[in-house]
Chains A and B, each alone.
Chain A
Amino acid sequence: MDTTNYQNFRIDAENICVDYNGKVALYDANLRLKPGQICGLVGMNGAGKTTFFNALTGFVNISKGKIRINGESVRSAQKDQTIAYVPQNEGIDSQFPVNVWDVVMMGRYGSMNIFRCPRESDIQAVKDAIERVDLTDHLSTPIGNLSGGQRKRTFLARAIAQRASILLLDEPFSGVDIRTEKLISELFIQFKNEGKTILLSTHDMIHVREFCDLVLLINKTVVAYGETSEVFTPENITTTFGGISPDFLFGPES
């Protein structure tokens, strides 16, 4: 298990720190994920979940530590389209004048030429991705006219079209309908079988138990990390959420 061979890990973050103009957002955080693993990222608002994502995608620079993606730097992971980020619905401008097709095509931009002219293979990848999230009837629907669940599926399709091996999902289940939730959970199983690695942040404890092999509890730094069955205990959750009893979060224990 404990090997220094980085190639074994899709994501290998070691003692990473991030600060914004001197304000520490995340410190001494570690994470190691292998192909086919699904990991839940759990913490309060402001605990550093988004910062963690930003560090992995290279959207913010880490001030200390080391991140290896498939054994290589974040920069080369960006070039290789290794990581796909699926934003929260609140994180995007839903009134932006683009339709489902346009958004999913954005997943192909990184591997196109400078003018971003879609090739036959790009068009096929976009078609396939849209089919997998069941939005073929909405190809030219502006994203402003989609429901929350459909919009979430659009961005999932973008990640699929990108053919990334690592998926980072920010609150994938928030504000979606039952149908979308079911479709996402089916996709998770497919992704797992395809050997993709998934890191998802969530507020919903039930989803962690249901989908995640591993769980990473953070509050500015790692509170606990490991197999969900071992680590996702009421004590650890209480610590993560700053002393709020898990009864309050889960409802009375049944």
Chain B
Amino acid sequence: MELCSFLTLDSFITDPLTHDFMRKALLMSSLVAAVCGFLSSYLTLKGWALMGDAVSHSVMPGVVVAYALGLPFSLGAFIFGVGSVALIGFIKQKSRVKEDTVIGLVFTGFFALGIVLVSKIKSNIDLHSILFGSPLGISLSDVKQTIFISLLVVILLSIFRKDLMLYCFDPRHAKTVGINVFFLHYLLLTCLSLAAVVGLQSVGIILVVAMLITPGATAYLLTDKFDNMTIISVLSAIISSLMGIYISFWFDLETGGSIVLAQTFIFLFAFLFAPRYGIFKLKKFFAGYK
């Protein structure tokens, strides 16, 4: 029945906008995507994909505990996110176990703790919405928190964007010229935890890592300039969020999964057709025609 609306592209786009929850979902998801996309260029260049996965899973118990205590869930998530990284660093230093093993071990432990807590703590936490996101059912207090955290992360990243770039590229040089590398390391981790917290509302804890690495990876294939990489990363994240939400609306699909799938498709497109680094180097192809 709704398929009739497909006849015009116009109504495909405008119909969902008549619903209040859809407008809110589109706006909030775009904001979250922009924040995660911004951070994404740093994480992919620093090689912190696994770290992003670890932090985003580790915030789970924090979210549950915060909900149970009536605190802002971002606070709990932040504490557990940073805590997991500290624990990873500690275990790595004090044992002979390799780093990737330690990361996998710690974040799954935290994640399991979160799941156990959900089943034990009596509250109205919806496990499904934490795991898979619920951009369509976002509450007003969540909206305020998300806007606040997003602005905070964007401001921090904007102020320190060049220092963070240098930190990712050549930390030794940064240190040599008196830049506080220790501070930058924890700044990036803090932003990662905060972005994971806002990201999990859109796509849920399990998939939030995609928001943190896929846009950056896509942009990395498309440009050789850092500033452009950031812009492309943010844009591709926003576009895939909008696409994902529209598609999930019309075809009645899980929203979080749709957003991440849209990101994956954009990445695949770049992987195949990126002008310089794609499989079918389009630039060469067109150059041949001239």
A residues neighboring B (CB under 8 Å): 21, 54, 57-59, 78-81, 83-85, 87, 91-93, 96-99, 102, 106-107, 109-111, 114-116, 142, 144-145, 158, 162
Contact = CB atoms under 8 A, between A and B. Distances in A.
B172 A78 contact: no
B29 to A, nearest CB: 27
B166 interface: yes
B252 interface: no
B162 interface: yes
Given A92-B170, A114-B159, A162 B177 contact: yes
A96 B169 contact: yes
B223 interface: yes
Contacts of B178: 78-81, 110
| In the A-B complex, the 3 residue pairs with the closest CB atoms | A110-B177, A78-B178, A142-B224
Contacts, number: 76
Contacts of A21: 93
A109 B93 CA distance: 32
A78 B180 CA distance: 10
B179 interface: yes
B176 interface: yes
Contacts of A78: 175-178
Contact of B226 (A54, A80, A102, A109): A102
Interface string B75-110: 000000000000000000100000000000000000
B226 A106 contact: no
21 contacts: A54-B172, A58-B175, A58-B176, A59-B172, A59-B176, A78-B176, A80-B178, A81-B177, A81-B178, A96-B168, A97-B45, A97-B223, A97-B224, A97-B229, A102-B226, A109-B179, A111-B177, A114-B159, A115-B162, A116-B162, A162-B177
Interface of B: 45, 93, 159, 162-163, 165-166, 168-170, 172-179, 220, 223-226, 228-229
Contacts of B175: 57-59, 78
Contacts of B165: 98
Given A85-B172, A98-B169, A110 B179 contact: yes
Nearest to B165: A98
A111 B177 CA distance: 8
B176 A96 contact: no
Given A81-B178, A116-B162, A116-B163, A99 B172 contact: no
